[in-house]
């Protein structure tokens, strides 16, 4: 609690800690974070409404990406906001095991030692992985702390821990029993580099320039010998020719229909295969005849099934051709392609080569070109799960922000295909299935069995494969809360969670699957009600950040340079949901500058406070207290409106807009105007602005805190040394967030109007000074002619003098009372300002200036007159719009008359 206890000197008097002139995040952040953590403020407080966020798994590779930093920032903002509102907030940090990525990294480490995982064997390999993972995990939690994540670290969840592992197994078993998980031989995507099966989602298609080889397939005669006739077949993958088991043509195709039933000689390998007719063959594409390679092409696989064709597999797991490929056996797949082409050419079977650009599937992880191969894998039948997942969105039980992603989600769900869930890697949740050496039974169980569920024999072996990482990720919202433990206390309290925050690139991988499997496991209860999707964070040049481009901006180095608050500000203020943003030093500087400005404005306010100052703000009467100076009533009114705006925007998850509003109020109204106005009084020994300064500062710190937690906490703790929190909150993180006052007691429209008038006067004078190059240090006399704003101008005269650097300031009621010789005049809607600048004024120039103003106003008047003369406008536009235009017209006319008067006086 040292932070809330001011240092005492020998007399026991309070000695406020010094505040350096520049805010230094590095001196503050780590200490503040420890204070929060030690005080236990990250744990649920037991408030009435639960608010839950489960932190998305960061990248276990140990690198922190900007996208994840944004996720953490947004979630932390929401968590802090809810916590300050008294909600029972639970934020569980978690790590998923990122199976393929980790596997690859560890294998790479091994390769550097000249080893492969097979040299180590499963057990020793997994030991290596755990070493790696533990290193990464500690790095990850440090990273999150530095981002300011106010999560309950003591309850960190890792999907490979016991609890989540039970959840994975339980889900697998239930799905299996419900017939939604099955094992089968299908054509799947295979990455020869990662040497595992991949789901469709993990394959990224990219257009690549390649070739279209047009190849002659000789027709065979009845005896099976090649004839001189041939069929031309086009392919982009000649290396698969040895696996051809048929040629297919469209039965409607007049060119080829008569050939159905005959055979061709496969030009590589020489096997004799039939010509079949199949509707799937396009009449337009290629040459119209298709080579059928069921072992290495998904379309062909289906054709093969329809015609009972044999399936030939000619690829080894690492992408070489196997003995089925005959003379090409042992060649790497692309070397084989070249060889096949060369052979065909030599035998005059290559008709032509056409340049061709087509989509090629790449492994998301390794970038290697994936191969479709036939393999025995585990699959999840997702169509039955998709139905309730669609309903949940249709019925509005889950809402997307921004809503346009609803369609993306629906489209995917409606066209969903079975999910390949088994992976041939070792790190991951092992498939809870055991096979028996003595019988055909498979045992599927949550607990490791010791005998076969079929024959009871002890000779059982567990399936070697592991599950797709996204399988366990899909359980995240409930598995982290303790499911399937029936006594898990968090589950009934904190499930469903409220907001799921993530990048839109991950809707299918994660969001959709969380919805499906959570609904399934949680008896139809949705995992979260809102999916908030942020855009991608791009590099300064607009390209995607990637290591190969070398344009990755590391959040930690940004924090080192600018501070966490600056990073959070930048990344949140410039992000609207679903839209990408670019990050640059310039933007980060803006964030740092704001933190510094907060620091300095606070420094000023706090430096003004002395022992014995009255800091309590009188409670507002039903209306704002007319006894208070107008600027006090103004800022209090504006501040109340800010609270209302922030409340509304945060409720709508419009974080960026809320932050902009906070910034604008703080900088432009509080710092630039109110503090400057207050200085005038304080210099004269009037202490009455202090309660207002302290009050507004206090509200601002609270409002800003979720966004910029460190600088606000550091300041606030110094603030409460001077004026304790009314609710005795020990730290800002658990102080009360400002909420709108239902009575709107501080609203004061009159004060807002009056102060706006004073601002107009000041700006007009400053404008004239700048335009006429009056030296900034020089004090000149000025006249303010105010009709309705007269009283305000009088009351604020000392402030206007100070802010506009005019002295003496004459506040007069009519223009006659101001001089007209050697003056510069500006007519405002609220009155006019007259600056007698004598020798500085060139009468000719002033005439021109006034003339230009008159002309500008004349244009506006004409426009408004035209609009108001339009009967259609008067009848169809809402009355208040018409009234507004009429008022504008009146004001413009009045202003013009004022300028014309000044012009006439000039002669």
Partner RNA sequence: GGGCGAUUAGCUCAGCUGGCGAGAGCGUCCGGUUUACACCCGGAAGGUCGGAGGUUCGAGUCCUCCAUCGCCCACCA
Sites for RNA among residues 648-677 (CB under 7 A): 656-657, 660, 667, 671-672, 675-676
Q: Is 31 in the site for RNA (CB under 7 A)?
A: no
Residue 602, token pair as written in the block: 């606070």
Q: Is 596 in the site for RNA (CB under 7 A)?
A: yes
- From 341, 322, 342, 324, select the one nearest 332 (Cα to Cα): 322
Interface with RNA (CB under 7 A), residue from 112, 627, 776, 869: 776
Binds RNA (CB under 7 A): choice among 767, 798, 822, 893: 767
Angle at 613 between CA 609 and CA 615, to 5 degrees: 85
Nearest distance from C-beta of residue 204 to RNA, angstroms: 6
Rounded to the nearest whole angstrom, what is the least distance from the CB of residue 291 to RNA in the complex?
6
Among 10, 222, 775, 844, binds RNA (CB under 7 A): 775
Region near RNA per CB under 7 A, out of 52-60, 160-168, 277-285, 703-711: 277-285
In the range 615-654, which residues lie near RNA by CB under 7 A? Answer: none
- Residue whose CB is less far from RNA, 412 or 435: 412
CA 369 to CA 236: how far, in whole Å?
14
**Residues 455-494, interacting with RNA (CB under 7 A):** none
Measure the CA–CA gap between 891 and 857, rounded to whole angstroms: 10
By CB under 7 A, name the one of 155, 186, 766, 893 that touches RNA: 766
Q: Does the footprint of RNA cover residue 549 (CB under 7 A)?
A: no
CB atoms within 10 A of CB 398: 23
Q: Which residues contact 816 (CB under 8 A, 6 or more apart)?
A: none
Which tokens is 793 given? 């101008």
The reply to whether 299 sits near RNA by the rule CB under 7 A is yes
Site string for RNA, 398-437 (x = CB under 7 A): ------x--xx--xx--x----------------------
Site residues (CB under 7 A) for RNA, limited to 342-361: 358-359
Q: Considering beta carbons, is residue 117 or 296 the nearer one to RNA?
A: 296
Could you write out the DSSP letters of every residue in 417-435? --EE-EES-SSSPBP-EEE
Of positions 26, 111, 280, 459, contacts RNA by CB under 7 A: 280
Name which of 52 and 581 has its Cβ closer to RNA: 581
- Residue 294 touching RNA (CB under 7 A): no
Segment 145 to 184, residues that bind RNA, using CB under 7 A: none
548 belongs to the binding site for RNA (CB under 7 A): no
Query: What is the distance between the alpha carbons of residues 566 and 582, in angstroms, rounded to a whole number?
Result: 15
Q: Is residue 586 a contact residue for RNA (CB under 7 A)?
A: yes
Say how far apart CA 847 and CA 845 lie, in whole Å: 5
The kind and range of the H/E element at 376 are strand 371-380
Q: Does residue 679 bind RNA (CB under 7 A)? A: yes
Q: Where does residue 575 fall: left (phi above 0), alpha (psi -120 to 50 degrees), or beta otherwise?
A: beta
Minimum distance between the CB of residue 721 and RNA, rounded to whole angstroms? Answer: 18
- Binding residues among 511-540 for RNA as defined by CB under 7 A: 538
- Verify binding: residue 807, RNA, rule CB under 7 A: no
Residue 40, C-beta contacts closer than 8 angstroms, at least 6 positions apart: none
CB of 248 to RNA, least distance (A): 8
Q: How many CB atoms lie within 10 A of CB 34?
A: 12
Q: What share of the chain is helix, strand, coil (3-state, %, to 5)?
A: 45, 20, 35
Residue-wise DSSP of 560-581? HHH-HHHHHHHHHHT--TT--E
From 26-34, 156-164, 724-732, 766-774, span contacting RNA (CB under 7 A): 766-774
Output 266 or 452, the one with its CB closest to RNA: 266
The verdict on 285 binding RNA (CB under 7 A) reads yes
Q: Of residues 4, 574, 661, 792, which one binds RNA by CB under 7 A?
A: 574
Asked if 519 and 392 touch (Cβ cutoff 8 Å), the reply is yes
Name residues contacting RNA, limited to 216-235 (CB under 7 A): 234-235
Given 332, 351, 589, 865, the residue binding RNA (CB under 7 A): 589
What distances in angstroms separate CA 535 from CA 470, 551, 555, 576, one per listed residue? 21, 18, 16, 7
Is 895 a binder of RNA (CB under 7 A)?
Answer: no
Closer CB to RNA, 139 or 641, in the complex: 641
Does 894 sit near RNA (CB under 7 A)?
no
Determine the Cα–Cα distance for residues 785 and 796; give it in Å rounded to an integer. 13
Residues in region 179-208 near RNA by CB under 7 A: 200-201, 204-205
Count of helices and strands (H, E) across the chain: 27, 29
Nearer to RNA, 142 or 280 (CB): 280
Shortest Å, Cβ 359 to RNA: 4
Distance of CA 763 to the CA centre of its chain: 40
3-class SS string, 868-903:
HHCHHHHHHCCHHHHHHHHHHHHHHHHHHHHHHHHH
Report the distance separating Cα 488 and Cα 472, nearest Å.
18
Under rule CB under 7 A, which residues in 725-744 are in contact with RNA? none
Dihedral sign for Cα atoms in the order 286, 290, 291, 292: positive
Report the residue from 558, 595, 733, 755 that binds RNA according to the rule CB under 7 A.
595
Number of residues that bind RNA (CB under 7 A): 88
Identity of the residue, 258 or 876, whose beta carbon is nearer to RNA in the bound complex:
876
Nearer to RNA, 627 or 776 (CB): 776
Q: Smallest gap, in angstroms, from Cβ of residue 669 to RNA?
A: 10
Neighbours of 529 (CB within 10 A): 15
Q: Is 373 in the site for RNA (CB under 7 A)?
A: no
Q: Does 601 bind RNA (CB under 7 A)?
A: yes
The residue within the footprint of RNA, chosen from 139, 763, 772, 847 (CB under 7 A), is: 763
279 binds RNA (CB under 7 A): no
Q: Under rule CB under 7 A, which residues in 741-760 are in contact with RNA?
A: none
Of the candidate residues 153, 182, 435, 604, the single one contacting RNA (CB under 7 A): 604
Q: Which of 587, 695, 705, 832 binds RNA (CB under 7 A)?
A: 587
Which of the residues 71 through 130 are near RNA (CB under 7 A)?
Answer: none
Q: Which is nearer to RNA, 137 or 597 (CB)?
A: 597
254 near RNA, rule: CB under 7 A: no
Sequence-separated (6 or more) residues with CB below 8 Å from residue 466: 99, 422, 423, 425, 426, 427, 428, 429, 430, 431
Q: Give the list of residues 6+ apart from residue 600 with CB closer than 8 angstroms, or none.
A: 21, 23
The answer to whether residues 428 and 99 touch, using CB atoms and an 8 Å cutoff, is yes
Should residue 825 be labelled a site residue for RNA when binding is judged by CB under 7 A? no
Instruction: List the one residue from 5, 546, 607, 814 that touches RNA (CB under 7 A).
Output: 607
Give the interface segment with RNA, choosing from 190-198, 314-322, 583-591, 806-814 (CB under 7 A).
583-591
505 binds RNA, rule: CB under 7 A: yes
Alpha helices of 609-654 — where are they, by DSSP H? 630-651
- Residue 237 in the binding site for RNA (CB under 7 A): yes
Query: Token pair for residue 670?
Result: 């509080």
CB atoms within 10 A of CB 104: 19
How many other C-beta atoms are found inside a 10 Å radius of the C-beta of residue 812?
17
Residue pair 718/606 in contact (Cβ under 8 Å)? The answer is yes
Q: Least distance to RNA from the beta carbon of 613, Å?
A: 16
324 binds RNA (CB under 7 A): no
How many whole angstroms separate alpha carbon 5 and alpha carbon 225?
99
CA–CA separation, 465 and 171 (whole Å): 17
Give 124 or 884: the residue with its C-beta nearer to RNA.
884
Binding segment for RNA (CB under 7 A), chosen from 377-385, 695-703, 783-791, 872-880, is 872-880
């Amino acid at each position: 609690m040292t932070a809330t206890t001011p240092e005492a000197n020998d007399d026991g008097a309070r000695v406020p800690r010094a505040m350096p002139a520049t805010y230094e995040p590095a001196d503050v952040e780590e200490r503040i974070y420890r204070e929060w953590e030690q005080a236990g403020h990250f744990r649920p407080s037991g408030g009435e409404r639960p608010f839950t966020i489960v932190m998305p798994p960061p990248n276990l590779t140990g690198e922190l990406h900007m996208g994840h930093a944004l996720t953490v920032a947004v979630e932390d903002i929401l968590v802090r906001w809810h916590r300050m509102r008294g909600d029972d907030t639970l934020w569980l940090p978690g790590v998923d095991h990122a199976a393929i990525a980790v596997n690859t990294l560890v294998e790479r480490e091994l390769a550097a030692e000249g080893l492969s995982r097979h040299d180590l064997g499963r057990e020793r390999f997994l030991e290596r992985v755990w070493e790696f993972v533990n290193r990464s995990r500690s790095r990850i939690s440090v990273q999150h702390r530095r981002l300011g994540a106010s999560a309950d670290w003591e309850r960190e969840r890792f999907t490979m821990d016991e609890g989540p592992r039970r959840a994975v197994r339980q889900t697998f078993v239930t799905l299996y029993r419900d017939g939604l998980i099955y094992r089968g031989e299908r054509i799947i995507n295979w990455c020869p580099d990662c040497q595992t099966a991949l789901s469709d989602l993990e394959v990224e298609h990219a257009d690549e320039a390649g070739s279209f080889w047009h190849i002659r397939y000789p027709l065979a005669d009845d005896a099976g010998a090649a004839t001189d006739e041939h069929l031309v077949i086009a392919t982009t993958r000649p290396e698969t020719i040895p696996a051809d088991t048929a040629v297919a043509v469209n039965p409607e195709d007049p060119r080829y229909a008569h050939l159905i039933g005959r055979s061709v000689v496969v030009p590589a390998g020489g096997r004799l295969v039939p010509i079949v007719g199949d509707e799937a063959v396009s009449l337009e594409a290629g040459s119209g005849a298709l080579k059928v390679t069921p072992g290495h092409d998904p379309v062909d696989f289906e054709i093969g099934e329809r015609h009972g064709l044999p399936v030939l597999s000619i690829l080894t797991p690492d992408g070489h051709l196997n003995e089925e490929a005959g003379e090409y056996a042992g060649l790497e797949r692309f070397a084989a392609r070249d060889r096949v082409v060369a052979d065909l050419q030599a035998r005059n079977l290559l008709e032509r080569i056409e340049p061709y650009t087509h989509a090629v599937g790449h492994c998301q992880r390794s970038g290697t070109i994936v191969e479709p191969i036939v393999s025995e894998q585990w699959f999840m039948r997702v169509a039955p799960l998709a139905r309730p997942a669609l309903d949940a969105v249709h019925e509005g039980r889950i809402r997307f922000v921004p809503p346009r992603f609803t369609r993306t989600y629906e489209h995917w769900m409606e066209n969903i295909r079975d999910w390949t869930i088994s992976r041939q890697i070792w790190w991951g949740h092992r498939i809870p299935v055991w096979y028996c050496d003595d019988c055909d039974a498979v045992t599927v169980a949550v607990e490791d069995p010791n005998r076969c569920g079929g024959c009871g024999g002890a000779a059982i072996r567990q399936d070697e494969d592991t599950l797709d990482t996204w399988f366990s990720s899909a359980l995240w919202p409930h598995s982290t809360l303790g499911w399937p433990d029936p006594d898990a206390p968090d589950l009934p309290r904190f499930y469903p969670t409220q907001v799921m925050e993530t990048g839109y690139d991950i809707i299918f991988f994660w969001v959709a699957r969380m919805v499906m499997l959570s609904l399934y496991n949680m008896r139809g209860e949705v995992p979260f009600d809102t999916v908030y999707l942020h855009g991608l964070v791009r590099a300064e040049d607009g390209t995607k950040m990637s290591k190969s481009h070398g344009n990755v901006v590391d959040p930690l180095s940004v924090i080192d340079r600018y501070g966490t608050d600056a990073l959070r500000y930048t990344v949140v203020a410039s992000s609207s949901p679903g839209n990408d943003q670019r990050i640059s030093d310039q933007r980060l500087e803006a964030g740092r500058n704001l933190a510094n400005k907060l620091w300095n404005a606070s420094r000023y306010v706090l430096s003004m406070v002395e022992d014995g100052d009255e800091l309590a703000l009188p409670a507002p009467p039903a209306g704002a207290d007319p006894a208070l100076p107008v600027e006090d009533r103004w800022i209090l009114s504006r501040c109340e409106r800010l609270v209302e705006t922030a409340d509304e925007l945060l409720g709508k998850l419009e974080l960026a807009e809320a932050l902009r509003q906070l910034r604008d109020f703080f900088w432009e109204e509080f710092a630039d105007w109110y503090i400057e106005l207050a200085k005038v009084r304080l210099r004269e020994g009037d202490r009455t602005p202090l309660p207002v300064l302290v009050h507004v500062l206090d509200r601002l710190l609270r409002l800003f805190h979720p966004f910029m937690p460190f600088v606000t906490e550091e300041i606030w703790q110094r603030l409460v040394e001077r004026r304790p929190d009314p609710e005795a909150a020990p730290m800002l993180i658990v102080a009360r967030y400002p909420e709108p006052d239902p009575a709107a007691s501080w609203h004061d429209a009159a004060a807002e109007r009056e102060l706006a008038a004073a601002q107009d006067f000041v700006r007009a004078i400053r404008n004239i000074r700048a335009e006429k190059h009056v030296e900034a240090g020089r004090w000149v006399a000025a006249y303010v002619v105010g009709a309705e704003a007269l009283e305000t101008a009088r009351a604020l005269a000392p402030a206007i003098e100070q802010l506009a650097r005019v002295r003496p300031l004459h506040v007069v009621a009519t223009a006659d009372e101001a001089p007209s010789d050697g003056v510069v005049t500006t007519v405002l809607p609220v009155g006019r300002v007259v600056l007698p600048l004598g020798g500085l004024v060139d009468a000719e120039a002033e005439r021109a200036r006034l003339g230009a103003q008159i002309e500008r106003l004349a244009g506006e008047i004409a426009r408004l007159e035209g609009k108001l003369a339009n009967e259609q406008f008067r009848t169809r536009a809402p009355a208040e719009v018409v009234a507004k235009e009429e008022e504008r017209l009146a004001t413009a006319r009045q202003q013009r008359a004022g300028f014309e008067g000044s012009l006439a006086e000039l002669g």
